[in-house]
Amino acid sequence: MQSAAEKMRVGEQAEAAAEAALTAAGWEVINLNELAKNFRFADLLAKKGSTRLFVQVKGTTTSEGMFGALPERAQGLDSLAENLDAIALYALVHLTPHGPVIRFGHAQQVALLAAERIAAYHGKLRYHLYITDFIFEAAHLAELVE
């Protein structure tokens, strides 16, 4: 199990990687955690034209690219974004020795997948998502958010 310091380091690296990928894809990005220490629902706010994204970043160093995500948190992010006329996304960042692999998915998709996997498992399930569950990279977000 990771220490608190290791979790923080992974989280910071994942946020930096997601922010860099979004910026390289032409999005203007604000790290919400720098404005309000550990913002509850989202880590990044990204804007391109009139489109705004609230992005929850999840990082992992597991060899299989596994992530923990709670359906309630994803639904909360989706509700917040909807009320603010924005789109709620998750950025799943798999930190590998060869560099980060980053995939994006709608918060509702994350909520549904996590809920399905939790319901199907009769025990304590730590990981609910896999990097392979998602296909969209930052360069192709226009297809995801249309």
For the chain, domains (ranges, CATH) are: 4-145 (3.40.1350.10)
Pair 75, 65: CB distance under 8 Å:
no
Answer with the residue of higher pLDDT: 133 or 35: 133
pLDDT at 40: 72
* CA 86, 40, 134, 8 torsion-angle sign: positive
Q: What is the pLDDT of residues 21-34, one digit of tens each?
A: 999 999 999 999 88
- Tell me which residue of 136, 126, 84, 65 sits closest to 105, measured CA to CA: 136
pLDDT at 127: 79
Confidence grade of residue 35 (pLDDT, cut at 50, 70, 90): confident
Region 1-26: mean pLDDT is 90
Q: What is the pLDDT of residues 40-99, one digit of tens each?
A: 789 999 999 999 999 999 999 999 999 988 899 999 999 999 999 999 999 999 999 999
Region 36-42: mean pLDDT is 76
Pair 111, 74: CB distance under 8 Å:
yes
What pairs with residue 29 in β-bridges? 46
Q: Does the predicted TM-score (pTM) go above 0.85?
A: yes
